């Protein structure tokens, strides 16, 4: 019987073990998309408890607790931190087969040297072990966590109106070597149908010193903010859009929609779709000029439980996979940019695994001489970053393109302890490739295999984003 999560966890043959231990495990991390706060890095935050470090803001864990019938007070409410931790310890051993079970134990092992399985019987001991280290170990403050995981670059998620103060301060801090760069996320300006759109436009106008009254002035304001982000090291832009409908429209039509919305009037779905499509085309062309990588995340049905959304707000664990493919309109969008020779490097992520082949075959239509994998599928995302989800995404990428050009894993997390997800991905990658070698699907060529692993886990991301 194989030992529980030992050094060869998920590595099922000799080649897989060699690839992981000799190559993948030695490589730094390039975290090109996450949701951690630059301010906490600049201030070198110290967590007050394991519950704060582990459970705060982690909707993956919250969903498990809700599925176990845990009261919301003990999940996101005002219950004591130890009570929240014990509730998580109650559900975790029941979550056999869930990636959170693996992630949680990887985090305990790597950061706290604790190899005990978490359950109600061990909860108090683990709580005490970890909290003592959090209180006294400098390596468990935010910067220490980043440094011990060998993170070379971090791209955060930032709204166009953000002042980027912490990014600017970190760039001037020679004592911290990891690059912390802003990531442009213009969702608020794209979602014209949202109730807070008018207020947001006022804020955008204020920070850009532009009176926004129509499409022309909106684009001018966004250009100013993109220049500001670019000046402060931005190399990536991310879009969490539910879908992108193909809805071309002239500037006059879009202008009328903006004026109508800013007057307080409602707009139709067709008007919103045309506005969003036109604005994405404008943004895409600007990204190409700046040399930014464009990331598109689709396929999510947001806030399915509207009652809980009204109570707790967004990003609290009530989103799900949209059963319909959200890739409709993406091909036309990429083609629109391509016709103007203005298609930036592009990564497409879908939360729906049924979109794997669609994305990979679409990406193959928009490659460019001299650029490896200019358009490509992003790593298995959100509900797909499971063992099977990652394996399927790797296999789909390989079958539809050139796997060695894959930019690899990202954290996409609000937790500083989530860097072990890169280890999880690397183990799955090495085991998948090791299986191909073992079954005669690829030669046991040490140099070629080493190069493939190094590229996917590190080199490609560093080169693709220009870090």
Rounded to two decimals, the pTM is 0.96
User: Of all helices (H) and strands (E), which one includes residue 155?
Assistant: strand 151-155
Decide: 157 and 151 in contact? Cβ < 8 Å. no
Q: How confident is the model at residue 323 (pLDDT cuts 50, 70, 90)?
A: confident
Decide: 394 and 432 in contact? Cβ < 8 Å. yes
Question: Which residues does 375 contact at the CB level (< 8 Å), separation at least 6?
Answer: 334, 343, 345, 346, 347, 348, 362, 363, 365, 366, 367
- Show me where the domains of the chain are located: 14-46+150-465, 47-140
Instruction: For Cα atoms 61, 63, 65, give the angle at the middle one, nearest 5 degrees.
Output: 70
CATH number assigned to the domain covering 47-140: 1.10.2020.10
For 14-46+150-465, CATH number out of 3.20.20.140, 3.30.720.210, 1.10.1060.10, 3.30.70.1060 equals: 3.20.20.140
pLDDT at 325: 60
* CA terminus-to-terminus distance, the chain: 43
DSSP string, 191-214: -TTSTTHHHHHHHHHHHTT----S
Q: Kindly state the average pLDDT of the residues 320-332.
A: 79
Alpha carbon distance 458, 463 (integer Å): 9
Q: How far is C-alpha 454 from the geometric centre of its chain's CA atoms? A: 21
Q: Which residues pair with 155 in a beta bridge?
A: 181
Burial of 254 (0-12, 13-18, 19+ CB in 10 A): buried
Look at the block and give the residue holding tokens 């909707």. Answer: 59
Decide: 65 and 87 in contact? Cβ < 8 Å. yes
pLDDT at 300: 85
Q: What is the pLDDT of residues 20-57, one digit of tens each?
A: 999 999 999 999 999 999 999 999 999 999 999 999 98
Residue 30: closest CA among 128, 186, 154: 154
Domains 14-46+150-465 and 47-140 share a fold: no
Q: What is the pLDDT of residues 92-151, one digit of tens each?
A: 999 999 999 999 999 999 999 999 999 999 999 999 999 999 999 999 999 999 999 999
pLDDT at 242: 73
Backbone torsions φ then ψ of 224, nearest 5 degrees = -60, -45
- Dihedral (C-alpha) 268, 270, 275, 280: value to the nearest 10 degrees? 140
Structure tokens at 118: 């978490």
Q: What is the pLDDT of residues 216-257, one digit of tens each?
A: 999 999 999 999 999 999 999 999 887 788 999 999 999 999
Q: What is the pLDDT of residues 249-292, one digit of tens each?
A: 999 999 999 999 999 888 999 999 999 999 999 999 999 999 99
């Amino acid at each position: 019987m194989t030992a529980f999560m030992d050094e060869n966890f998920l590595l099922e043959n000799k080649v897989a073990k060699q690839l992981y231990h000799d190559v993948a495990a030695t490589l730094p991390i390039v975290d090109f998309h996450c949701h951690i706060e630059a301010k906490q890095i600049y201030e070198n935050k110290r967590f007050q408890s394991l519950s704060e470090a582990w459970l705060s803001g982690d909707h993956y864990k919250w969903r498990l607790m809700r599925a176990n019938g845990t009261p919301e007070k003990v999940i996101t409410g005002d219950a004591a931190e130890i009570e929240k931790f014990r509730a998580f310890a109650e559900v975790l051993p029941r979550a056999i087969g869930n990636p959170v079970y693996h992630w949680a134990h990887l985090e305990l092992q790597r950061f706290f040297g604790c190899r005990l399985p978490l359950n109600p019987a061990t909860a108090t001991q683990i709580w005490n072990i970890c909290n003592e280290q959090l209180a006294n170990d400098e390596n468990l403050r935010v910067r220490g966590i980043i440094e011990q995981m060998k993170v070379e670059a971090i791209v955060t998620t930032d709204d166009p109106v953000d002042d980027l103060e912490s990014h600017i301060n970190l760039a001037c801090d020679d004592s911290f070597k990891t690059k912390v760069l802003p990531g442009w996320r213009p969702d608020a300006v794209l979602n014209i149908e949202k109730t807070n759109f008018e207020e947001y436009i006022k804020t955008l106008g204020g920070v850009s010193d532009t009176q926004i009254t129509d499409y022309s002035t909106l684009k001018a304001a966004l250009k100013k903010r993109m220049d500001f982000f670019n000046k402060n090291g931005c190399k990536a832009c991310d879009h969490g859009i539910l879908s992108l409908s193909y809805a071309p429209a002239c500037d006059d039509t879009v202008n009328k929609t903006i004026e109508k919305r800013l007057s307080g009037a409602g707009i139709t779905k067709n008007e919103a779709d045309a506005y969003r499509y036109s604005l994405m085309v404008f943004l895409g062309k600007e990204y190409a000029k700046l040399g930014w990588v464009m990331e598109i995340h689709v396929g999510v049905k947001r806030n399915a439980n509207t009652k809980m959304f009204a109570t707790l707000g967004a990003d609290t664990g009530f989103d799900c996979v949209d059963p319909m493919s959200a890739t409709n309109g993406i091909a036309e969008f990429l083609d629109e940019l391509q016709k103007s020779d203005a298609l930036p490097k592009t990564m497409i992520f879908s939360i729906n695994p049924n979109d794997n082949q669609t994305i990979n075959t679409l990406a193959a239509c928009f490659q460019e001489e001299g650029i490896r994998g200019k358009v490509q599928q992003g790593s298995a995302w959100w509900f797909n970053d499971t063992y099977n989800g990652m394996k399927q995404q790797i296999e789909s990428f390989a079958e539809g393109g050139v796997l060695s050009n894959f930019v690899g894993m990202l954290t996409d997390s609000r937790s500083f302890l989530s860097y072990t997800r890169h280890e999880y991905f690397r183990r799955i990658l090495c085991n998948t490739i090791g299986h191909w070698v073992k079954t005669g699907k690829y030669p046991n060529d040490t140099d070629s295999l080493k190069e493939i692993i190094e590229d996917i886990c590190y080199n490609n991301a560093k080169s693709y984003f220009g870090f």
